[in-house]
Amino acid sequence: MAAAAGAAVFWHLAVAHADNARLETEAAYLREEYAAVIREAERMTESQEAGERDWWWYVLGMSHLQLRQIPEAKRAFGEMIERFPESRWRPDAGVALADAVWVSGDPAGAVALYQAVLERWGADHPILPRAQYQRGQAARAAGQWEVAKAALEAVVQDYPNSFEAGLARRFLEEAEFAFFVQVGAFGVRDNAVRLQRELARRGYAAGVHATVADGRPIHRVRVGRFVNREKAQEVARQLQEAGFPTRIVP
């Protein structure tokens, strides 16, 4: 009886220690001390006595992702998904893995991963508005215009009161579902018009797009409306060779 009681006390102490470790790690993550979180999470994922190892794999991946250590983030999320397929953190890890794939330069691959999360988990899961919104943005980056627009419209329709719905509405109202080559951005409209005319003289279809950034008007000079990135890159290269700074958007 005494031995059993002693074992129970030891178990409760171990649980309390694990809970303290998690609370301390969560606090460190919120303080953006990602390197410290990684060290603790690596220790806990290797410990056979650690509880909630799925959570430790997840926070390990998130910390690597915050530090833009993409291969390490993808490995951590992959391990978590493979080892704990029924974990309550599984949907979050799926979205985070898609984020990592997108950051690595593969938006089309990210679109497929976001879609897999949407198909697997019920419509009421709290991660789904973000998954659908991210799917729309990744599709825009990949030039999948129809997918992008449909995904953003789905956020507004299916999750109208979500934070992501507000963002999606703005994009649907303001965003162009095409690629452009931006050649300059000016606070003074006359400067933008002057550049636009110079580009037109050289045979480029350029326009001035007005917006507001940090409370100030900005006039962006952009060339074209390209349905694929390859054509936009070709025009950007031509402009660079002519001495103009360029940036492909979105």
For residue 196, give the 3-state DSSP assignment: helix
Pick from 140, 147, 135: nearest CA to 180 = 140
13: left (phi over 0), alpha (psi -120 to 50) or beta: alpha
Architecture of the domain whose range is 179-249: 2-Layer Sandwich (3.30)
E strand spans, the chain: 179-186, 206-213, 216-226, 247-249
C-alpha to C-alpha distance for 5 and 70, rounded to whole angstroms: 47
% of the chain residues with pLDDT over 90: 68
What value does the mean pLDDT of the chain take? 87
- Contact yes or no for 206/200 (Cβ under 8 A): yes
pLDDT attached to residue 18: 52
**Helix residue ranges per DSSP H, 143-219:** 145-158, 163-174, 189-201
Q: What is the pLDDT of residues 102-151, one digit of tens each?
A: 999 999 999 999 999 999 987 778 999 999 999 999 998 888 888 999 99
- Contact yes or no for 139/107 (Cβ under 8 A): yes
Domain covering 2-174, topology: 1.25.40
Q: What is the pLDDT of residues 3-41, one digit of tens each?
A: 333 333 222 333 334 568 888 999 999 999 999 999 999
What ranges do the domains of the chain cover?
2-174, 179-249
- Contact yes or no for 99/86 (Cβ under 8 A): no
% of the chain residues with pLDDT over 70: 90
Domains 2-174 and 179-249 share a fold: no
